[in-house]
Structure 1
């Protein structure tokens, strides 16, 4: 198997097997074994914290969150300025600022965790795409080689048939010249 991998590496990728990255070697092994590289990367996350972070980030970055948040803020301001005679949080709404600061302090790291996880998923998807594309390119190169070999066999057969015809024509011409040459 190692010899086959080395030959494929040098013939198709024009590099020695040792020069290839581990990912390229893995793809070449799949090619040699006629195996698949593609796999499903959309597996559900098993980590509860990661799932919560994704949901919080998804909701925190939605128009629904912005709308609900705007309604709560407007309600708080209306409650403390117009509705209640003795306001719980009078203007400049210090308690509301405290709550907003705490919400931001909790929400920001959760959103960052979700973004980091998404970036890792994107890196894995990009690496997977590279492997699939490399295998496809290698398989296309192998198909081109096979087609070239078939063309060469067909051309060699045609050349052999052409040589046989030329030999037959030369023999016929030689026989005609011998027959006509002997009569003159």
Structure 2
């Protein structure tokens, strides 16, 4: 049953919960949606802290916001690297599978070429035999 699976199915079945989580986090953080939402949060954060008269939880230069981004980066970078490593592993498996498929295709093409050459030789031998028979028949007629 394992051999009937595609490389992608084999890879997905071998992934742990952490692998899937790293992929999901990377997919989210690598999207325009995430960038737009994060930009909106930054603008709201800065806007509230610059204009608020009473509640400045993070006054300019936004040290708390900087801390939040530092924590986000500290976790995001290794998660993204895990996902990249898994992508590299997937690419290696796929490349190996493609290579094996190409080798099999090459072998089949070579077998077809040998078969076609054999058929061509047989046809040429048949044509030569037919021409020799025609020559023999003509030589009897001209005598």
TM-score range, shorter chain: 0.7 to 0.9
- TM-score in terms of structure 2 length: 0.87
Runs of 4+ in 1 over 3 A off after TM superposition: none
**Quick check: which has more Rg, 1 or 2?**
1
Aligned to 2:64, the other structure's residue is in SS state helix
**Counterparts in 2 of 1:98 and 1:110: CA distance versus 1, 3 Å:** same
Query: Is the aligned partner of 1:41 residue 2:10?
Result: no
Aligned to 2:7, the other structure's residue is in SS state coil
Cα distance in 2 between the residues matched to 1:165 and 1:67: 86
Cα distance in 2 between the residues matched to 1:126 and 1:146: 30
Query: Is the aligned partner of 1:124 residue 2:90?
Result: no
Is the 8 Å Cα contact of residues 59 and 65 (structure 1) preserved in structure 2? Answer: yes
Query: Is the aligned partner of 1:161 residue 2:130?
Result: yes
- TM-score in terms of structure 1 length: 0.69
Stretches of structure 1 lacking an aligned partner (at least 5 in a row)? 1-36, 175-184
Aligned twin of 1:103: 72
Query: Is the aligned partner of 1:133 residue 2:95?
Result: no
- 1:101 Cα offset (Å): 0.4
**Counterparts in 2 of 1:38 and 1:133: CA distance versus 1, 3 Å:** farther
- CA RMSD, Structure 1 to Structure 2 (Å): 1.9
Stretches of structure 2 lacking an aligned partner (at least 5 in a row)? none
- 1:153 Cα offset (Å): 1.0
Aligned twin of 1:19: none
Is the 8 Å Cα contact of residues 8 and 90 (structure 2) preserved in structure 1? Answer: no
**Which is helix-richer, 1 or 2?**
2
